[in-house]
Amino acid sequence: MFNFIRRYRNFFSIIFGLAAVGMVISLFGTGADVGGGGGLWNAGSAAKVMGERITINEFGQAFEYQLENARTAMERQFKGSKADAQTKAFLESLLKAQVSPQSVLNSLIQQRYMMALSKQHGFKVPAEAIRYLLAKNPAFQKDGKFDPLLYKQMVARPGEYENRVREQLFRDALFYNLSVPVALVSQAELEEAKLLKQDFVFELLEVKPSSVKAPSVSQKDVDDLLADSAADTELKGFYESHRNDYETQAKVHARHILINEAGGGKKKAEEIRKKIASGKMSFEEAAKKHSADKSNADRGGDLGFFEHKTMDPKFADAAFALTPKEKLSGVIQSSFGFHLIEYIDRQEGVSKSFDEVKKVLARRFLEEKNQRTFAQKVLADALKAGSLSSSSLGQLNTKWESKVEWSPLEDSIGALSVSNIDVNRLFALKNKGQFYPLVASQGQSLFLLKFVSKSSADVTSSELVANRASSSIQGYLDGNLKVLEEKQKIYRNDELMARMQQQLEQL
């Protein structure tokens, strides 16, 4: 999954950006699209926040801009890409899920609430500040200087655009004031953030002891183990963990007839059953003539012997309930259709006791123990020597998996779960070819890790503060907005949102 995200890193940065705090706060921050027509949108309210309207025209402009902006970014991502149609369809559906009418409206509601908070805190935006920002915007400059004519050409409605700039400055002021309580970042926190942003590459070696070419176990070794009464406890534990290997499950031999809906369904199956039960037709004849399961119909529906777990649960329950005295089932419905089942024979399951398999078990126990001990020694010797020879790889019957990518935010390195290693020792690796200093164990497998490279990550304290502040402020805003919703201080035009969503899905 993370490799897929890496491959379409730019696209996912768009998606995650759309989902972030205030995703349409900057919708009106560029000159080219400000003051757009909005002729497709009727007058009325998309929402109200503490008595202030968000007009349908305002919502329409925001939605159209966001959708177009996302489409452009997606086309840029796919340009020259070899992504197949299925991948493109998946990413497009992901995009639609983020650029939804409801998400855009939620952001507009959040903006309007932030404006109200800014006013409550007494924030003011002087006209000089707006003029300064306009003059510094490269989109309105010619030869490095503000050009009033270019500004008028770029902005259809200057008054509306300047109001948007004023609103943005109000929100910036609020953001800054709410960020102050979380503005302190320790050096330890900064170092931790840098570690979490690094990307590592390893070589990974997985050893399955059962495949290892270890020295053979002698008969004397087996006899010595059997003679040691103290070893019985360990052998019995080994028997319990491998009990399934010494058991055979019950099996039933049966015939069946499958009738699907197209072939008449339950009613047809009941008619056939009556003919079989009355002796007018044998089960085999009926199967050859009527069964929709062509894989065995010509054999009279013979399924051979089968275990309960290999069949549809309802079918299996019915088949295993039949007896020599009650051979014909009623009509059984499974996920495949309607069945009739005829009992032929049954083999009961057999479970061999510990004493019955003790000798065989002792050899197997020693072989597995020998293989694991041998594998651990070879890997431990490799760690001491700082290398693993090709002959050792042959004995272990495995090979290195190269270029295994890992980020500290991921929970596994290839097949190895991070919970089975010491991450601090991993972070300490610096030189190419350097081994992680321990043999990792997961289930029956053993692992070695060899460091290849890691990317350097630069994280500033201001970036960390911004991320923390965004999270903190979002929590603050969400909590307050929820209270306003409960007090009915926020109104949403749900009918409009539903219509918009329906139209979007048809695009």
Over residues 74-95, the pLDDT tens digits come to 666 666 555 666 666 666 666 6
In DSSP notation, 260-312 reads -GGGTHHHHHHHHHHHHHHTSS-HHHHHHHH-S-TTTGGGTTEEEEEEGGGS-
> Is residue 201's pLDDT more than 90?
yes
- Residue 506: predicted pLDDT: 61
- Measured CA distances, 82 to 71, 79, 89, 324, 351 (Å): 18, 9, 13, 62, 55
Min mean pLDDT across 21-25, 243-247, 416-420 is at: 21-25
What are the tokens at 119?
């006013």
For residue 27, name the pLDDT band (cuts at 50, 70, 90): very low
Question: 450, 474, 358: which is closest to 25 by C-alpha?
Answer: 474
Say yes or no to pLDDT of 101 above 80: yes
CA gap 39, 53 in Å, rounded: 19
pLDDT (0 to 100) of residue 308: 93
- pLDDT, position 139: 85
Residue 98 has pLDDT above 70, yes or no: no
The pLDDT value recorded for residue 37 is: 39
- Coil vs helix vs strand at 389: coil
Mean pLDDT value of segment 243-269: 92
Options 3.40.718.10, 3.40.50.300, 3.30.230.70, 3.10.50.40; CATH for 250-305+315-348 is: 3.10.50.40
Largest CA distance in the chain: 102
Q: What is the mean pLDDT of residues 169-179?
A: 70
Residue 388, SS3? Answer: coil
Residue 462: per-residue pLDDT? 65
Q: What are phi and psi of 341, to 5 degrees?
A: -125, 135
**2-186+461-505 carries CATH number 1.10.4030:** yes
Task: Compute the average pLDDT of residues 163-174.
Answer: 77
Average pLDDT over residues 335-346: 94
Flag whether pLDDT at 55 surpasses 80: yes
Higher pLDDT, 465 or 396: 396
Is the pTM above the cut of 0.75? no
pLDDT at 286: 94
**Least reliable range by pLDDT among 28-42, 136-150, 316-330, 434-448:** 28-42
**pLDDT grade for 499, boundaries at 50, 70 and 90:** confident
What is the residue extent of each domain of the chain?
2-186+461-505, 200-215+360-454, 250-305+315-348
